[in-house]
Structure 1
Amino acid sequence: MDFRLYDPFVNMTFSSHACFLCGTIVSDDERIPVFSGWLQKRYDLGQKKLQLLDQSTLTFTEMQIPCCPVCAEKVAELDQKVEAASKTGLPGLQALEEKTLFLWLARMFYGILVTELKTEQNPLIKPEYSVGENPKMLHKFQSFFQLMQAIRVPIEFDDFTPCSIFMVELQQGEQKTEFNYRDDLTTMMFSLQLDNVLIIANLLDNGFLKKAMTPVWREVEGKVLHPIQAAEFSARVYYAAYIFNLTPDYFVRRQKPEDTHLIYDTLVDDITATIFNPWEHSVYATALEKFWLPWQISRNQILQNPESPLSFLLDAEGRFRELQEWEVPVI
C-alpha cells in the first residue's frame, strides 16, 4: 500500500495540472467540482455565483479543482456517504463518523482556499486581503492539508479529533429547499445550511472550540432553533474561532513493516500560549451584527447593555430561550 504523503505547500505548487490530493499530473478534463455534485443538483447551484477575495466571481459549476482518477474515486466515496446520510436530515448526518464529515467539509474548504491561492499568484491581480503572504497562515494551511491526506491514505488520528463540528436543527418555514454556506479562511471556519440542518465547523482546532463552547452547546444541542438564534450561535462559534490562539502540529508515527495505516499524533505549536484570547463584547457585537444583517439589528442595539450583549439564544440565566416572538431594543 502506498503511504506516501503529498504537500503542495512546500513549493506552493497549485498547478491546474496537478491533482490537488496527490500531485499526480492530470489532463485538462480530469477535474472535480469543489462543491459536491449532488449538492449542486439538489439545490440547483450550477449557475449561482461565488465572490472571491479579489472581488472576481465564479459560478459553482466553474469552481473546480484538478483530481486524478484514483483520488476522484476516493472523493466520490465520501460524497456518496454524506449524500445518503443527508437524506434523513439531522439524524442521518449525526450518525456519520465525525472523520467522514470532517473530510467531506475539508475538501470543499480546501477547494475554495486553493482557488484563492491560485488567484493571488496571478501577477495581474492583487487581492485586498492576501491569504498566502502570512507565514503563520501558511503553516495552518499546511497542517490542515496533512489531515486532509486521510481522504486518499489510510490514516488514523490517535487520541484526538482534528475539528469541532456543531450540527443544529432549524425551524422549518415556508421557504423553498435552501442551501447556504459561509467560510472564513483565516480562522478555518466553514458552515453549511442544508434545508433545516446547519453544520458549523472549525477544521483545525483539535476540538478546543467545542470544549470552550460547552456551556452554550449544552443549552443548544438537541433544540430546534429559529433562524435568528442559529445566526447568533454561528456568530458565537465564528468569534470563538477568531480568538483561538493555537495552531496544532501533526506528526506521523514511525511505521512498522506490518502496518496497514499511518497514525497521526498531535502537538500545539506553543504549549505556553493562551488557548483563547480574551472575549471582548464590543468585538463580538461587530461579528454578531454581520450575522444578523437579515434582521437589520445594529451593533448599537446589540450593545445597549455593554456588559450583556443582546441575545435571542439564551435568557438572563444562560438557559436556552424558547423563541416565539422577540423585540429588538429601540435606540
Structure 2
Amino acid sequence: MSVQIYHPFSSFNFSNSKCFLSGEQLNSEEEKIQVFPQWLMSMYGLEDKPFKLLDESIATYKDLKAPCSAVINEVHLEPLEKKIADAFNTGYEAVKSLDETSIFLWAGKLLYGILFNELQSGIKLQHTQGEEFNISQSLIHKFSHLHLMLQSLIKPISFEDFRPFSLFLFRVDNNKTEFGYRDEINTLTFALRINDFGLVICLQDNGANEMYHRDIFEKTKSETLHPIQFEEFSGRVFYSNYLFNRLPEYNILPVADEIYIESMPLRGMSSKPLFDNWVNKTYGQVLESFWKNWGFSLFEIIKDPEKPMSFLFDDKGDTINAATIELPR
C-alpha cells in the first residue's frame, strides 16, 4: 500500500480532533502533547511563564499543546524527545554528536507546534469577527513543506541528497539558569541558548544561510562564546533569513512503499542573488532586540553606519576572546 501524505493546509483543519502529524481522528480531544516538552519546562520553570502569540494574546508555556495520537507520541515522538533531552542535559559535546536531522525534526516539531497554536488562535479570532481566515500563499508553501518533512518521523520519507535546513551550534558560557529562546515563525528560524551551548537553525532554506555565513562560522565555531556573541551571531542569521528571497521547491517521488523528497535548485529561473541587500540600519535594529539584556541602543550599535558594533570581531576583523568581554552573562 502506498504511503499517504497528510496535507493539513489543503483543508485548513486545525481542530483538536485530529492528530497534528498524521491527520488521524483521535479518540478524545484530550489526546495532546506539550509543545514545549515537559523536561524543558521543568528544567527552567517555564510552565506558568507568559508566552505571547502573534495576535498579542498571552498564553503560558504549559498552555501550548498540539493534538497527537497517543500511539504516535509513544512510538515515534517520545524516543526522539528522550534522545534530545539526554544530549541537551549533558551539554555541548553531546549535542554536537547528535545527528543533525534529529535536531532539525525536534526543532521543527516544536516550531510547528507553536504555529499550530497560532493558527488555531487566528482562525478563532477571524471567525468571531465574521471574517474568513487569510494567510499568504508563500507562508502556506513553507509551512506545508515543513509539515511534510516532519512526517518522516512516522512514515518512510527520505530527503534525497540534500539538507532542508541550516544549523549553527556553539559552545556558550551561559548563565546555567537562563532559558534563552527565540523564534521567527514567518521565516521558520529558531534559536535556543541553554546549558553550555547555543544553536540556531533555519528550517526551510536548504542550507542557504549556512553558505551565506560560512566564513564567519568558520572563524567562530570552535570558540566558546560569551552570550552576547551568540546573540550577535543569531541576529545575523535571523536577519539574513529574512533577506532570503527564495521559496524552496521540491519533487515528491513515491517509490514502492517509500517517498523521496528531492530538492529543486534554489536559483531556479531567476538570476538575482538568493539574498536581498544587507542594510546595516535594519541589522542594527535586529541587534538592539537581540542585545536587550545588555541595554545597547540603536544609536550606539550603528554609531558608525558602515561598521555596526560587534562583540564577535574587532576593528581588524579578528575574533574577540569571550574572556575579555566585561559584561554580565
* Fold agreement, TM-score > 0.5: yes
Task: Report the 3-state secondary structure (helix = DSSP H, G, I; strand = E; otherwise coil) of the residue aligned with 1:253.
Answer: strand
Deviation at 1:171, TM superposition (A): 1.4
**Aligned residue runs from structure 1 range 109-128, under 5 A:** 109-123=111-125
- Are 1:99 and 2:101 counterparts? yes
Deviation at 1:326, TM superposition (A): 5.3
**Equivalent residues of 2:226, 2:325 under 8 A apart:** no
Distance 1:242 1:56 in 2: 24
**Aligned residue runs from structure 1 range 1-331, under 5 A:** 3-26=3-26, 27-73=28-74, 74-123=76-125, 133-172=135-174, 175-256=175-256, 259=257, 261-267=258-264, 268=266, 270-272=268-270, 273-325=272-324
**Equivalent residues of 1:117, 1:132 under 8 A apart:** no
Distance 2:306 2:267 in 1: 33
Deviation at 1:52, TM superposition (A): 0.7
Please, which moves more after superposition, 130-139 or 207-216?
A: 130-139
Please, which moves more after superposition, 206-215 or 70-79?
A: 70-79
Please, which moves more after superposition, 313-322 or 90-99?
A: 313-322
CA distances 1:236-290 after superposition (whole Å, capped 9, x unpaired): 111111101111122222313xx5x422101248441431001111111111111
Distance 2:18 2:217 in 1: 41
Distance 1:131 1:315 in 2: 48
**Equivalent residues of 1:165, 1:210 under 8 A apart:** yes
Amino acid at match of 1:284: Y
Structure 1: tracts of 5 or more residues without a match: none
CA distances 1:160-212 after superposition (whole Å, capped 9, x unpaired): 1010111111114xx45222211101111111122221111110000110111
TM normalised by structure 2 equals: 0.91
Which structure shows the higher helix fraction? 2
Distance 2:255 2:221 in 1: 40
Distance 1:126 1:52 in 2: 17
Distance 2:296 2:13 in 1: 44
CA distances 1:271-314 after superposition (whole Å, capped 9, x unpaired): 41431001111111111111111111111111111111111111
Deviation at 1:3, TM superposition (A): 2.0
Task: Report the 3-state secondary structure (helix = DSSP H, G, I; strand = E; otherwise coil) of the residue aligned with 1:201.
Answer: strand
Distance 1:288 1:278 in 2: 17
Distance 1:203 1:126 in 2: 32
**Equivalent residues of 2:182, 2:190 under 8 A apart:** yes
Task: Report the 3-state secondary structure (helix = DSSP H, G, I; strand = E; otherwise coil) of the residue aligned with 2:80.
Answer: helix
**Equivalent residues of 1:250, 1:266 under 8 A apart:** yes
Please, which moves more after superposition, 111-120 or 38-47?
A: 38-47
Task: Report the 3-state secondary structure (helix = DSSP H, G, I; strand = E; otherwise coil) of the residue aligned with 1:35.
Answer: coil
Task: Report the 3-state secondary structure (helix = DSSP H, G, I; strand = E; otherwise coil) of the residue aligned with 2:254.
Answer: coil
Task: Report the 3-state secondary structure (helix = DSSP H, G, I; strand = E; otherwise coil) of the residue aligned with 1:47.
Answer: coil
Amino acid at match of 1:309: P
**Equivalent residues of 2:166, 2:210 under 8 A apart:** yes
**Equivalent residues of 1:281, 1:307 under 8 A apart:** yes
Amino acid at match of 1:302: I
TM normalised by structure 1 equals: 0.91
Deviation at 1:132, TM superposition (A): 5.1
Deviation at 1:117, TM superposition (A): 0.9
Q: Percent identity?
A: 33
Distance 1:6 1:138 in 2: 14
Count the aligned residue pairs: 321
Distance 2:134 2:170 in 1: 33
Please, which moves more after superposition, 247-256 or 230-239?
A: 247-256
Distance 1:327 1:79 in 2: 37
Deviation at 1:10, TM superposition (A): 0.6
Say what the alpha-carbon RMSD is for the aligned residues: 2.2
CA distances 1:103-153 after superposition (whole Å, capped 9, x unpaired): 0000000011111111111146899xx995211111111121111111111
Amino acid at match of 1:144: L
Amino acid at match of 1:104: W
Distance 1:215 1:202 in 2: 17
Q: For residues 65 and 299 of structure 1, do their structure 2 counterparts lie closer, same or farther at Cα, with a shift above 3 Å needed?
A: same
Task: Report the 3-state secondary structure (helix = DSSP H, G, I; strand = E; otherwise coil) of the residue aligned with 1:254.
Answer: strand
